[in-house]
Structure 1
Amino acid sequence: MNTQVKLISVVIAMILQPTTVFAAQDDKIDKDIEVITVIGRHAHYKNDEAHAAMRSNVSLLNTPQSVTVIPAAVIDDQLVVTLGEALRNDASVSVGRATTDRERFSLRGFTIEESTNLLKDGHQHFSKYRLPIALIDNVEVLKGPSSLLYGQSTPGGLINLVTKKPTFDSFAELSVKGDENGSLRLGLDLGGSFNEEKTIRYRAILEKEDNKNWRKYQDGSAQESDFIVGSLLTDIDVSDDLTLSLHFDSSDEVAGQDSGALVDDNGKVIGGDALIWDMPWTKVDAQSQNYGADINYQISDNWQFDAGYNNQHNERERWESKPQTQDDFDTVSGLYENKPYDKLEDWQQDAFYFDFVGSADFAGMSHDILIGGNYLKHEYSSLKVKGDTLIGNLNIGTIIPRQALDYADAKAESESYKYYGVFAQDLITLNEQWQVLLGFRFDKQEKADADNDSVLPKFGVIYHPNENASIYANYSESFEPQGNITDDEDANFGLELDPVKGIMYEIGAKWELFSGKLRLNAAAFDIKRENIVLEVNLENNPDFEMITTQEGIQRHKGIELGAIGEINENLSLITSAMYLNAKYDAHNEYQGNRPEDVPQLTASAWLKYSISENTAVNLGAFYESERFADAKNSLEKSGYTRFDAGISYALPLAGNDLLMRLNVENLFDKHYLAGGENGEINVGKPRTVKFGLSYKF
């Protein structure tokens, strides 16, 4: 941590120095002059709040935690179509293996679990499906353990998707996106009020996507997918103090499978970058529905009550050829095994939350208080039927016919659990310079052979050297419930495992420049994940085959730097970098190893320059250093830097603007290996031209 502390100290020292240049500029402003805000065609990038970080409208300068907000303007400028494309703007996030129907991520080197570490509008959301970016306004990245407010999760942090909301004023927006591979996405976004009083407002979104991949099956056909999503949201002002919000969204996707590429011991892609090993008949057919209601009641000037309910239903059927390429591929003959199967899955989840949010003054101090709780019921069932193992041949492009499999012969599995938690948090303002955050949570899970409960503390302190800066430190924890050991061949059979625990210490600084238009961030952190479950083989034990213990420890230390906002009226940017020292401190197999697909150094930068009122250009760069393709650290993927570029032009048309965008992803056609898992790796997309048209009226 010595290097990290030195770098953080430099940033803190800069903040503590008198900002004479900017103060001198501010002194020239007459405070009595009326300020008129002019909204132009080019939106800028800085947001001042991330609601999910504190579950209330607290500014980021008053938040003792590292948080990044990826705003709608960046998502639009980059023609983002997947969540992974948005998250590349934060260097602390790495995109792991991406398959047809979903993406995997890690944050500060720890896996983002699909069932616990992703939020939607600040509340837990199950994410084993392709999350529709058409519904998303911005993305909040909350770094470090956040179990105090959200319950069980891994210690890297949380990702919160903030959806588009109903509007007071009426509008309609038509959009078209596409790329040179033949993908086409048609969108319609409507908003406004149903009545003259504007007490009933709505937002309706519909997008139809026909996607074509640049990678191809062995018969020469491209992997394709059809995706449609629609949503309807309404806000109803029942009274001056009470608002009822209703939401519904539904998506349907049918897509061919692409499990990723196989690389040899030298990191070379076998069969070429564009080859898909799966059979062309593989497919995923997935549907998702969400519906629910939220209320906001203003109890008094200082207190409000929020509560909400959401029901989520996901169904997915998979027809897999499942090429077994990791261990048994014969590089000379081209032969490899396929173990096909059909699988039908169903997830249902009910979630409820409540929050009391308010402020009060007592004992000579100001208190921003949050008291709340949440409940979740999760159910899963599946049917899986396996086919006969068949042999493919890469050298001649053998196409194995699909087998007729019957679910009457399937193996059934199911899982269900409930968990709930209550918490309290107090942000205490001692004076103009000092704030203290105190919080605790009680959490309990009810699951067969896995009942766990936890009590979690959180502590933070913030120092404001001036009104434009803050320096903070925090301590926080996370937990991941485990279960009992159910294998009677295990020497610890019947033992109830403790939750896997994450502990983090973090110090950081935030500094706003240019009258608050640009924010600089720096953070150093030390996260220890302990009680990791280990299975150790007992070779010479006549009674047991293995013993399960919780002696594993994973330690991640790092430093993050970032900047977001406006340099001047023409230049905006979002940029970040992270250095991460990650390894297994204690492990029976991976002692001293670096976790799978975790780079030591990552960086990203995206700049937007407005040439004129109508025209802007963009330039982006994304860097990842070397990473290991497996936890054994047997294969290293080379580092790479990828450049993107784009241009946008607003054409006046019938009293409004037709906004045209043209982007080039991977401008210099850099070959690189992206995320992956279990020996299967995603190949970076080659140079690709993307376009977008939108007209709002």
Structure 2
Amino acid sequence: MACTRCKPSAMALACAALACAALSWLPALAQDVPIATVQVSGARSTPPDANRLGLGVLETPQAITAITADMMRAQGVDSLEDILLNVPGITQAGGHAGIFSNFSARGFQLENASNYFRDGLRFDRQSQISLQNIEQVEVIRGPASLQYGKLVPGGLVNFVTKKPRAVSRYEASVYVNRFGQAEAGFDATGKLDSAGKALYRLNLEARKIDSFRDSVDGESYFLAPAFTFALSDATMLDVMFEHYRHDTLRDPGQPAPDSRDPGSVTRIDPAAFFGEPDATNEVRNSSGALRLNHRVNEQWQLRADYSGSRFERDMHFTVNLNRRPAAPLRVPRVARAGFTDARSDSVRLELFGDFATGEVRHKLLAGVDRLERRVDDLTTANTMLAPVDLFHPRPTGNASYSSEPLFDERVRASDTGIYLQDQISMGAWNVMMGVRHDRLRENYHERMLDLRSRHDAGATSPSAGFTYRVAPRLSLYASYSRSLDSNMATNGCGRSYGASRGSQVEAGAKGRAWGGLQWALSAFSLTRSNGLSEDPSGAVDADDNSCLVQGAKQRSTGVELETSGRINRQVRLLAAFTQMNARVSADANPAMAGKKLRNAPRRSARMWLEYDLDAAAPGLRASLGVTHVGERFANDSNSLRLPAYTAWDAGLRYALGGDGSLQMTVSNASNRRYVEDSLPNANSVNQAAPRNVSLRYTHQF
């Protein structure tokens, strides 16, 4: 099916005009005007985009974690799951069968269309992402609507991309693992002219995908050029583009032998595949961004940002259904197809000031932003497939996919916001205050049944907080923040819903210990009101999905502790611990009150240590990590309980002579079978991969 072509919006045309105006200044590059060489640092210890006031970690009255490029290299990460397990309060929240994983923050599942950002600009994460162009991953936990608009209140994830540098550098890497997966990456940066007024960076990646699951394979390709232009002494322009192609087989997960105990899936071979060999998933994702920064004087800056993306997916997939009591060892399945075309455009204009009024210093941020999103989503009717054996599934190899539409959905949404924020410094005190007003508009049309709903809401979200520097290496803080999140009826029930609100009170302490070791302790109480829950009347749509009613109230309270850095010259540590109680406090269905939020364990922890073995072999480092995830529920009714697990990983890094390095990483070192997460419909779960050994060679030149 061809994707729907949309007319360019007025906002997109305006942004294009802004870009053309900025690019019209490029002839200045050819003029012989003295200008400082542009230098953009790639590794940053202070979040540069998730905190647009430029505040240090000790000055920020909110929990923020930054996983740097150096830490990602040291751990040998190969996926977003590997990165986010280092962050307290973050847990996996159900996979989408080989397409991508969902995550929850402080008990609330992050929305893929609104809770992810790239360089501080909204990023529509609808598929796996390449790590080739990622310099740092930042996580703000708790509501953050003040600067970022509509969000699920648990937090946000910001991907900081690799920026152009003035010093030429080239890096090539190759990777293989025991399951047959292989990839090659290339990273180049340097000057485009001798004066250093124009810089470039280019990242490329090709990957052969091979899974521990039988028949699940594919390939992906990634391209990301970026440019930085010094248009004048006071004006900088960044231009970025990414294209990602991902073609793979969709894995429907594995059904648990005991439908009341998802942990019983470990009785099935982890390699057992319950899908079909023609269940293909083809993804094309292109995005670009423009960032213009003009320094008016020493105190004031003007910023203008634009980002746009297009996501296209052509998917054929199978779904495991609930087994019948008369045939408990046979797994019924259906096949269907889906086609998605999603486009988004966002623009942001900001005025930033850093100035003093007497003894008081201000960092003032005023801005306006707008997001437009257009989604066309077609799903075909179910086709019944032959059941397969629970313990020895065999694909039929002849699955057929209906061309008859079951759902044909169209969503048009916009979010316009205006905000003001001021950070006031007075000696050891830093006080932050801000307010934002949003206007949300969403229109939903299910064209097969001609069901329509409209959502139009406005809301004001205040935020306030303070930090107090008790000592040069210790700060105490407290904050209050609110968030706004829209609810769109996309399940064929034709109902319209108002916005959900989030609010949080947080307090804690942050500090630096010996050897550069940083730590943070936070306690929070987070509430989401006017949420959605299943209709207690049992009403369903044409696809047997429960209709939803509004009015649910959910609350998450807890404590988080994290630390990272060097204990001494030889030992580096990263540790994170979360104690959390996330539950339903009120619901239209009285039976739901008191239930735990799904995929929200009461306890989770992560510890990783790296030791320099220079005394034995110069350049050699060894690491050991352990992850614990407590018991949690796979569904809202709490009838399916996922067992707790503890997993180990280990690694060796060796700096070779010259500019090369070799790394070996062992994941699930104890080769334990455990349930990593469940699929959204809870009919299937995902076993973790068996022990995996990977090798990566990197060479800089």
Band of TM-score, shorter chain? 0.7 to 0.9
- Aligned partners of 2:63, 2:319: CA distance in 1, in Å? 40
1:543 corresponds to = none
Letter in 2 for 1:287: R
Residue 658 of structure 2 is aligned to residue 638 of structure 1 = no
Structure 2 counterpart of 1:678, from 673, 677, 681: 681
Q: Does 1:625 align with 2:630?
A: yes
Q: Which amino acid aligns with 1:625?
A: G
Separation of aligned partners in 2, 1:435 and 1:170: 40
The aligned residue for residue 611 of structure 2 is 609
- Superposed, which structure 2 residues align to 1:455-474 within 5 Å? 455-474=460-479
Hey, what's the Cα distance between the residues in 2 that align with 1:583 and 1:289? 38
Q: Matched residues in 1 for 2:333 and 2:355: separation?
A: 65
Q: In terms of mean alpha carbon deviation, does 148-157 or 384-393 score higher?
A: 384-393
Cα 1:181–1:254 change in 2 (3 A) is: same
**Separation in 1, partners of 2:331, 2:299:** 67
In the TM superposition, residue 331 of structure 1 has moved relative to its aligned partner by: 8.2
Change in CA separation of 1:63 and 1:322 when aligned onto 2, cut-off 3 Å: same
Equivalent positions of 1:320-399 (< 5 A) are: 320-324=317-321, 327-329=322-324, 332=327, 334-362=329-357, 364-394=359-389, 397-399=393-395
**Does 2:293 correspond to 1:296?**
yes
Q: 3-state DSSP class of the match of 1:352? A: strand
**Match for 1:142 among 140, 152, 164?**
140
Q: Which amino acid aligns with 2:225?
A: L
- CA 1:606 to 1:331, structure 2 compared with 1: closer, same or farther past 3 Å? farther
Question: CA distance change for structure 1 residues 241 and 485 in 2, over 3 Å: closer, same or farther?
Answer: closer
For residue 185 of structure 2, what is the amino acid of its counterpart?
Answer: G
Contact 2:305-2:348 within 8 A present in 1 as well:
yes
Asked whether the equivalents of residues 556 and 581 of structure 1 are also in contact (C-alpha less than 8 Å), the reply is: yes
Distance 1:447 1:620 in 2: 45
1:504-543 aligned at under 5 Å gives the runs 504-514=504-514, 517-538=516-537
Contact 2:381 2:402 in 1 (8 A): no
TM-score, structure 2 normalization: 0.86
Aligned partner of residue 569 in structure 1, secondary structure: coil
Aligned residues with identical type, % of pairs: 26
How much does 1:426 deviate? 0.4
- Which position in structure 2 is the counterpart of 1:66? 63
Q: Determine the structure 2 residue equivalent to 1:562.
A: 562
Match of 1:694 among 686, 691, 698: 698
TM-superposed CA distance for 1:126, in Å, is 0.4
Query: CA distance change for structure 1 residues 177 and 480 in 2, over 3 Å: closer, same or farther?
Result: same
Aligned partners of 1:371 and 1:424 also within 8 Å: yes
Q: Which runs of 5+ in 2 are unaligned?
A: 1-41, 444-453, 540-545
Residues paired across the two proteins, number: 631
Q: Map 1:192-211 to 2 at 5 A.
A: 192-211=190-209
Query: Is the contact between residue 79 and residue 177 of structure 1 (CA under 8 Å) also seen in structure 2?
Result: no
1:583–1:130 CA distance, 2 compared to 1 (3 A): same
Verify: 1:262 aligned to 2:281, yes or no.
no
Report Cα offsets for 1:644-667 as digits up to 9, x if no partner. 110110111xxx321000111111
2: CA distance between counterparts of 1:639 and 1:483?
33
In the TM superposition, residue 481 of structure 1 has moved relative to its aligned partner by: 2.0
Paired residue for 1:413? 409
Q: Quote the residue 1:4 is aligned against.
A: none
Please tell me the residue identity of whatever aligns with 1:561.
Answer: L
Look up the match of 2:175: 177
2:667 to 655, 665, 668: 665
Look up the match of 1:241.
234
- Of residues 427, 433, 437, the one that matches 2:428 is 433
Return the alpha-carbon distance in structure 2 between the equivalents of residues 300 and 404 of structure 1: 65
Residue 342 of structure 2 aligns with an amino acid whose one-letter code is: W
Separation (CA, whole Å) in 2 of partners of 1:644 and 1:51: 30
Contact 1:392 1:400 in 2 (8 A): no
Contact 1:475–1:503 (8 Å) recurs in 2 = yes
Describe how 1:39-58 pairs up with structure 2 within 5 A: 48-58=45-55
**How far did residue 382 of structure 1 move?**
2.3
**Would you say the 8 A contact 1:392–1:399 is kept in 2?**
no
Alpha-carbon distance in 2 for matches of 1:406, 1:528: 43
Q: Does 1:481 align with 2:486?
A: yes
Counterpart-to-counterpart distance in 1, 2:501 and 2:188: 45
Distance in 1 of aligned mates of 2:500 and 2:110: 15
CA contact (8 A) 1:330 1:336 kept: no
Q: Deviations over 1:494-540 (max 9, x none)?
A: xx74321111000010011236x111100000011111234544599
1:118 aligns with 2:116: yes
